[in-house]
Amino acid sequence: MRVIICGAGQVGYGIAERLSSELNDVSVIDTSTELIQAVRDSLDVRGFVGHGSHPEVLEAAGAQQADMIIAVTLYDEVNIVACEIAHALFNVPTKIARIRSQAYLQPQYLDLFSREHMPIDVIISPEQEVGEMVLRRIELPGAMDVVRFAEGRIVALAIECLEDCPVLNTPLKQLTDLFPNLHSTVVGIVRRGKLFIPHSGDQMMVGDIAYVLTQKDQVRRVLSLFGHEEPEAKRIVIAGGGNIGLHVARTIERRQSRTRIKIIEHDRERAVRIADQLRRTVVLNGSALDNKLLHEADIHDADLMVALTNNDQVNILSGAMAKGLGCKANLVLLNNPAYHDLSKTLGIDAYVNPRSVTISRVLQHVRRGRIRAVHSVEQGAAEIIEAEALETSPLVGPALRELELPSGMRIGAILRDNEVLTPSGSVRIKPKDRVVIFVTREAVKQVEQLFRVSLEFF
């Protein structure tokens, strides 16, 4: 696939890194000579210095042969114009634009991005999507990752196995006998930094991270069975009142009337502006690294510090300081993958990676076949994919035990007529079933083939 990426910042670089690693033909455009040089030096991509919304720059980057343009610069208007030009002059089939301003994203204006008005196929709002990820983590404090599939009916959880986890050292095949009403499947395990697809005889060990697919109404029970019964936070301090922090606070105000929120925002004008937009949230102006201000925010009584500034170091330090001052737990935003493995030793309980959230949205449209959703996990080592089974798919018909599936995939749940099925050996996949699969990076192409539309279909 030939892809043009406009914007070589953290988001653009992350997308380019992932797509080039999968042997796609990638061109990156940015106005910064330094960023383009960094892309050329470290990735197998072509780099072009210039404006992604200028026709001659797009043409030089290969727009006439491109299958997709992904416009993720910092400026919404540049992203919109780049997609419009890619459509009008070069007839690029798929156009994806990053839109940061919430003014464009209000429900009454979404028709603006229809093909009749602005020919943009996919709108990505990383701030909004990261905000939703943060909200899911706040709602389920025992989970390291939470993603919903099939209109929310199927949930993927990443859960750390602690010493008091009741299901340790138990073969996975016995879990069904022990908990017959628990419609859940362990689809992936990370052990000492290495990810693998477990077999029925495998057991979970202390320190493992288990990826589990389950029904929406079984989520809290699954967390409980893994020994996680942490109460939901009722007193929250948020560091950073940007788009993500504002979205999180505003949503909690709407959904959870008993939760008390305080925001620490460094920029005075921004602090005044968001204070006007929030009803019950206390907004404090100053640094989240200021001991006095943390005390003023009653950090010693807080259940959770959520650090959402655009600076990883500030997020790590403010999260660690909050715990040192008596806050029960922290959750921080970490853009730099280099910090992920160090987070535990730095005193961080949990983190959200904005780059993986955005990459997951892009992959959904890069993957071939009837792919409805994709979530990238463990820095791209695996994906959780939701796909629709077609009549021509080799998955349709035989019982699951009869299928010769790639070793790097495991089916975790099936949605049929709004009912979630657990994939036992006797289950048969039918056309139009929605299948949620955990798949390693090496097996992604094979999974795509299982859901491709073949010529026989027409």
**pLDDT 10s digits, 218-267:** 999 999 988 898 888 999 999 999 989 999 999 999 998 889 999 999 99
Q: For 308-325, what is each residue's pLDDT tens digit? A: 999 999 999 999 999 999
pLDDT score recorded for residue 324: 94
- pTM here? 0.84
DSSP 91: -
107-117 pLDDT per residue, tens: 777 677 766 77
Average pLDDT of the chain to the nearest whole number: 90
The three-state secondary structure class of 409 is strand
Mean pLDDT of 199-227: 92
DSSP conformation class of 233: P
Rounded to an integer, what distance in angstroms lies between the CA atom of residue 276 and that of residue 137?
26
- The H-assigned helical ranges of 75-216 are 76-90, 126-139, 172-178
Place 458 in a pLDDT band, splitting at 50, 70 and 90.
Answer: very low
For residues 389-414, average pLDDT: 90
The proportion of the chain whose per-residue pLDDT surpasses 90, expressed as a percent, equals 61
pLDDT at 307 over 90: yes
pLDDT exceeds cutoff 90 at 368: no
pLDDT, tens digit (0-9, with 9 covering 90-100), for 417-453: 989 998 888 899 999 999 999 999 999 888 888 887 5
Q: What are the CA-CA distances from residue 161 to residues 372, 381, 429 (Å)?
A: 30, 20, 32
Chain center to CA of 376: 7
Domains contained in the chain, CATH given: 2-124 (3.40.50.720), 130-225 (3.30.70.1450), 238-327 (3.40.50.720), 357-457 (3.30.70.1450)
Q: 275 or 167, which is more confident?
A: 275
What pLDDT does 115 receive? 67
246 exposed, middle or buried (CB, 10 Å; 0-12, 13-18, 19+)? buried
Q: Minimal CA–CA distance to 298: which of 282, 286, 310?
A: 282
pLDDT score of 3 more than 80: yes
pLDDT at 200: 87
List, for residues 97-138, the tens digit of each pLDDT value: 998 887 787 777 767 776 677 788 888 888 888 999 999 999
Whether 455 has a pLDDT exceeding 50, the answer reads no
Burial code (b: 16+ CB inside 10 Å, e: under 16) for 332-371 equals bbbbeeebeeebeeeebbbbbbbbbbbbbbbbbbbbebbb
Q: Check residue 104 and give its pLDDT.
A: 80
**For the residues 343-357, what does the mean pLDDT come to?**
85
CB 209 within 8 A of CB 143: no
pLDDT confidence band for 33 (50 / 70 / 90): very high
Residue 315's identity, in one-letter code, is N
> Which pLDDT band, with edges at 50, 70 and 90, does 457 fall under?
very low
In which region does residue 379 sit, left (phi positive, over 0), alpha (psi from -120 to 50) or beta (all else)? Answer: left
CA distance 5 to 19: 10
CA distances from 428 to 389, 412, 421, 456 (A): 11, 14, 10, 21
DSSP string, 300-352: GG-SEEEE--S-HHHHHHHHHHHHHTT-SEEEEE---GGGTTTTTTTT-SEEE
- Is pLDDT above 70 for 326? yes
Contact 62, 27 (CB under 8 A): yes
The total of other beta-carbon atoms located within 10 Å of residue 211's CB is: 27
Assess contact for 59 and 91: CB atoms under 8 A: no
Instruction: Determine the Cα–Cα distance for residues 374 and 4; give it in Å rounded to an integer.
Output: 21
